[in-house]
Amino acid sequence: MKRTRVLIMGAAGRDFHNFNVVFRNNPQYDVVAFTAAQIPNIEGRRYPPELAGELYPEGVPIYPEEELERLIEEYEIDQVVFSYSDVSHEHVMHAAARALARGADFRLLGARATMLRAQRPVISVCAVRTGCGKSPASRKIARLLREMGRRVVVVRHPMPYGDLSQQVVQRFETLDDLRRYNCTIEEMEEYEPHVRNGVIVYAGVDYERI
């Protein structure tokens, strides 16, 4: 059976999650590449074999988004899957036009295909873009729940500036953990307030393992 050749457009976050839950162990698909936007210095790297699974022993290469058209033609891509946020409807549709103009299907994955079943109650703090106030809202929710006597942990996607194979699952309970994982300043700004408030933070590329 011919595998459907897929390219995932991403920004080193939702794209990796979509790959993990929809494509990683699915022999119907062959994810040929990721493209990267928004995150500096992510292109030119690989989604590592430790995360990519048995179907991808060499991992999956990550290219600049500017190379989308070339990649579709060179690798005979069947589907382009758009997998990042903080962009306008116009931006998404422009990406669709670029893919369709080269003959590939354009796809968005929905909640039923990508949500994980949790064994604990979950409160999701979301926003349409960076800077809306998710972090202070998360800290307040954690404080209110602790005041109600609940045990609380925070789960956050990692900021993929380092070695992805070392960011599969991370647990931050003390300030020493921030140093142990070589956190960037941006990561420390996000994790440290929770840790100082006595809230454990989990981060990782593979939410299912968390």
Per the listing, tokens 């045990």 go with: 151
Residues of the chain short of pLDDT 70, as ranges, are: 39-44, 158, 160-162
Residues 6+ apart with CB under 8 A from 176: none
- In tens, the pLDDT along 69-106 reads 999 999 999 999 999 988 899 999 999 999 999 999 99
Domains of the chain and CATH, by start: 4-113 (3.40.50.720), 117-203 (no CATH)
- In tens, the pLDDT along 132-146 reads 899 999 999 999 999
Taking a C-beta distance cutoff of 8 angstroms, is the pair 68, 98 a contact? yes
pTM score above 0.85: yes
Return d(Cα 177, Cα 199) in angstroms, integer: 13
Q: What is the CA radius of gyration of the chain?
A: 18
